[in-house]
Structure 1
Amino acid sequence: MEFYMKMLTSVTLSALLVFAAAPVFAEKPDFSKTNAAKASYDFSQNKPATGNQLQRASSQHDFSKTLAATSQYDFSKNQPAIHSEPQPSTQHDFSKTAAF
Structure 2
Amino acid sequence: MKLLASTTLALASLLLTTQAFAERPDFSKTAAARADYRFADNPGAKQNLVPQSSSRHDFSKTTAANSEYRFADNPPADETEPASRSTQHDFSRTQAASKQS
TM-score by length of 1: 0.50
TM-score by length of 2: 0.49
Indicate the structure (1 or 2) with the bigger Cα radius of gyration.
Answer: 1
